[in-house]
Structure 1
């Protein structure tokens, strides 16, 4: 990057002389400040160079990023717009994403969606792009979750910075720069240089933790064990009282551990966790309810984005297991950070990779029992806003919690807010489905009918049996599409498809049709017309060429008798899963009906029903060895006269 800028400036110097030398020095100095994540000085220098008329893609990238990571989204948006307008073909997809994020933070959701559409078009296998495509109505989804919290400012906020609350005894620990006067505007970057310290409060007074924990360096996010004896917290990487930089000149973050000694009333036995590194950051500790797992944020090798959520097991001897990345369902190519885990195993975190309102939003997902594939839910307003919302903690018993935000109405750069949860957040989406199953003709209730939940892969998930009143009750996962199917011996199965939903209860009443219908010319039109059996190839549902002529005979009969209505019954052999065969037979029935409709038969004169392997015409049931010809006899369609 630096070399490209120097080449550009050298070309300019041939045209305008020595004036560009000063600009080169300014850009070089700005690059140095930028590479060290010292954004405020970098902004000043880049602006001066830009005001002089010297511009490049790299300069705009660095200036836009300086504003972006400094949470100045208005300025960042203006710079990113110019970058994409002038150098759109040169910049990577990440700058489209950040531009979309700034627009979202400014409340321009339409503009943000337009840029995200472009972002999606130029990225491959990016979770943020696929998530955007799947959840284009995410603002409406967020609104559904909004309004569940009552929020008010923390009583100890100042004109400085307060953030990173954590539960401690009867009160809180939190991080602040109130004694240094330095605004911690870079808390979301990996090498914050402002001198933050840890404080505790019991709702009446604020105390600064002792020098054993607080140093002239930066201490922030923390968590303690329930007994208040062990403290984990984040601090700048340093040795022998000096900052330690990695090979890129970045000062990383590390997690430290301390023990409280009652006899001396101080924190002691300070030690650095073994999962730390001088090459990447490990920060923002959180403990599971049983305190046997430590969750944290890191950009260590194997991370999917700028920072991911990881966890380790805390062994009985005090050592730690190999860090486990929580995976692509939770982590994205952007920032996931500031984890917190409730007693019920709900993980709260901040992210700008999942669909949100702007900046960092707070999200929740269920990680109980090792589960990592549950829905990731935006907790909605008023916790989330157009700005950055982070360090969320929650007591699920009292329904009270805290979080931090840099929203405009705050006193300082960041402020802590308390909240009360008035309605629970629905994570794993469960939908209750109830109803009755009845005979379609007599309206009598059917006792002992099976109601099954079949997912979109035709896998049976669960089932229920109707009681003495023909009623059933069953739950399904409303985060995915499902078929609700009613089955009864002697009746044709019926089903209804339910797509993804908000989980509201659903009533589905089934009226089943008997599987034998008499009337007209008799039950079987095939016998009347002396048709050959309509066969299908193994595992296929398209009409075979040798069967088309037989279907044409049925079509001819229906053309001759306009009042004739028929039902196509299709069957499979016994090979394969029963549920799959039922699906395949339905496809065969529908293929036959569709073929007849394509030849001019009105669809209101046709019905189709699949029976799977439930009506075999020979001995070839499950486990019975049969020849291919014997199995073929069961892969057939029949025609039943309805009228």
Structure 2
């Protein structure tokens, strides 16, 4: 019976092991096919059964991360980092940092962004954090410029997003996963929602939306359609669709169906059969089109080769914003990457307003978490201006995207998956109360380092004063020892750094006359010597030894100068106790030398006490000729200088607060 029981246990263990392996393989298969909801269920069951490996926890977190549920992603990434931080790939430091923002843990998020930079070697996303560590202040500065409301008349319990102006702004076209009537549409395995279709909604004079209706079946298919844009005359439409054309559903070499931009023309009230744009590809996505005000340029989002976010090391390529010229005959030039605004993060959902201002969403620029909406002006030459986060309440710790604005009325719409909506992504209306706040400002960035070693100094206090010595601002350096101040242009300031055990330092800085970045770093020098029990502080204080004349125990003048350093050290470290050790050379009888060294030790102690050092902090002991520094022992012929090396006193740290035996 015992042998049968053992055999049963072994067979059961083997079966359970095979079952777990099968479930992992099944979950990975769903994950690799982007069926994140199905993969998520499998991974959750595995974790519940106690099978939580690095792979399972990382991919479980990913199933939420790639479905924009960053709060749940943070929960599982936290477990991953708690147990397996030394095993994760660098990209997970970035994903964890992003998810931490979703739960308002910005300081912890910044720490993991620094770790991301350290583990990856260099990445522009963490470099931007280093250069703009006060990004939250900048976001607050831009916040409060909008009034928003949920467009509840058209939102459903499913995803509703990506609005576009249509028919002279009297209508909006948007993407929705809603199901109407008794017709059930096919669902996408990524998020288990029906495939998106384009709907129209009427807009009243206040921008309130209503009366949602599906667009033509010539446009909508059984797969995704989303994010349209229309020419000013309303007769040409560009929109996003799955790689599905003429009834053929195509995939890339890994089996993934990508996104493409299609174009359709309106004639006699009907839309023509959509045609693909020539720079589409089966191997990468091209999506989310928008037009320049004159209709001569098409901006879009893509992860095509050449993207800054294109990284073969990672499982998912991140998209960039691109632009392409629309030629007079309707053909297209070569797409160009907007390198001035793109990051290794995700840039997507571009929109160009009538004033030639670009709005887009990004996870790479500094934001509140998830996708934030940013803006950048486009010059007549096509160059991009400074990228600015447009602030709250448009941006939150959730995904905020699909921003469009009518510059004439200062009204518009955007999409967000923030709580409080009808469900999933919702469309929101807004009224812009004031323009982007602009002022001439200079970002002064730098770091604090040790003057001798060059090491970064954490917890140093930076205090900023005006030239009348009025305090303006204050910061404390973190792990990377950096600081950032946002200052007015063409002004002078005093920047002072202080830290315990260091000498303070300050510098007068004068900011330039135009906005920009200014670098200035400060060095400080330690004024306390790090010591430990049983250290000989003589070498630390650059004291070789306290020497005595032959057969004497009085303190020589040169010894007095050295002892002043000992006195200063003990005053600087009032908790330290010192043992004074005195020695002689080998000349004279051993017993005599024992007595002489004891007198020298006591003479040194008495001198320090006479200078104000508490007697309880000092002990003294003579060692005679027992601890020679050279070979000049009894009977060995040595010069006077060689014997001199042995006539000395040493100063040993024998405890902090109480004496310790250092022999």
Give the TM-score, by structure 1 length. Answer: 0.63
2:165 paired residue number: 167
* C-alpha distance in 1 between matches for 2:135 and 2:491: 27
| Deviation at residue 240 of structure 1 after TM alignment | 4.3
- Matching of residue 146 in structure 1 with residue 143 in structure 2: yes
Aligned match of 1:258? 264
User: Equivalent residue for 1:230?
Assistant: 236
- Deviation, 1:140, is 1.1
Shift of 1:52: 2.2
Q: Which position in structure 1 is the counterpart of 2:287?
A: 283
| Cα deviation, residue 269, structure 1 | 3.8
Deviation at 1:317, TM superposition (A): 1.5
Contact 2:379 2:385 in 1 (8 A): no
Contact 2:240 2:288 in 1 (8 A): yes
Superposition RMSD on alpha carbons, in Å?
2.9
1:209 alignment partner, one of 203, 209, 215: 215
Cα pair 2:54 2:80 within 8 Å, conserved = yes
Quick check: 349-358 or 89-98, which moved more? 89-98
Distance in 2 (alpha carbons) for counterparts of 1:401 and 1:184: 31
Taking the aligned partners of 1:365 and 1:483, their CA distance within structure 2 comes to 24
Deviation at 1:16, TM superposition (A): 2.9
2:299 counterpart of 1:301: no
> Is the partner of 1:249 in helix, strand or coil?
coil
Give the distance between the partners of 2:124 and 2:51, measured in 1 at CA.
Answer: 36
Contact 2:186-2:222 at 8 Å conserved across structures: no
Shift of 1:68: 0.6
Which of residues 250, 259, 262 in structure 2 aligns to 1:244? 250
Q: Which whole-Å CA distance do the structure 1 matches of 2:350 and 2:426 have between them?
A: 18
How far apart, CA to CA, are the structure 2 residues paired with 1:63 and 1:157?
A: 29
Which ranges in structure 1 are unaligned for 5 or more consecutive residues?
Answer: 1-12, 433-477, 486-494, 504-643
When residues 421 and 131 of structure 1 are mapped into structure 2, their CA distance, relative to the original with a 3 A threshold, is: same
The corresponding residue for 1:267 is 271
Aligned twin of 2:361: 350
Match of 1:383 in 2: 394
| Aligned match of 1:98 | 95
Structure 1 runs of 4+ off > 4 angstroms?
180-187, 429-432, 478-485, 499-503
- 1:381-417 alpha-carbon deviations (Å, 9 max, x no partner): 0000111101000111211110000001111211100
Cα separation, partners in 2 of 1:182 and 1:60, compared to 1, 3 Å = farther
Partner of 1:397: 408
Structure 1 residue 55: Cα displacement: 3.0
Measure how far apart 1:76 and its partner are.
0.9
Greater gyration radius: 2
- Normalising by structure 2, report the TM-score: 0.61
Give 2:480's aligned residue: none
Ranges in structure 2 where 5+ consecutive residues have no aligned partner: 1-9, 204-209, 310-317, 443-484, 493-507, 517-663
Inter-partner Cα distance in structure 2 for 1:283 and 1:153: 25
Secondary structure at 1:28 match in 2: helix
SS in structure 1 at match of 2:279: coil
| Partner secondary structure for residue 88 of structure 1 | helix
Query: Do 1:297 and 1:339's aligned partners in 2 also have CA atoms closer than 8 Å?
Result: yes
Q: Is the 8 A contact 1:103 1:109 kept in 2?
A: yes
Residues 18/192 of structure 1: CA separation in 2 closer, same or farther (3 Å cut): closer
* Offset, 1:275: 1.0
Sort the Cα spacing of 1:424 and 1:481 in 2 relative to 1 into closer, same or farther, 3 A.
closer
C-alpha spacing 1:304/1:192, structure 2 compared with 1 (3 Å): farther
Deviation digits for residues 414-464 of structure 1 (CA, Å, limit 9, x no counterpart) = 11001011110146x5479xxxxxxxxxxxxxxxxxxxxxxxxxxxxxxxx
Q: Which residue of 2 aligns with 1:320?
A: 332
Q: How far is the alpha carbon of 1:336 from its aligned partner?
A: 0.5
| d(CA) in 1 for partners of 2:259, 2:512 | 45
Match of 2:117 in 1: 120
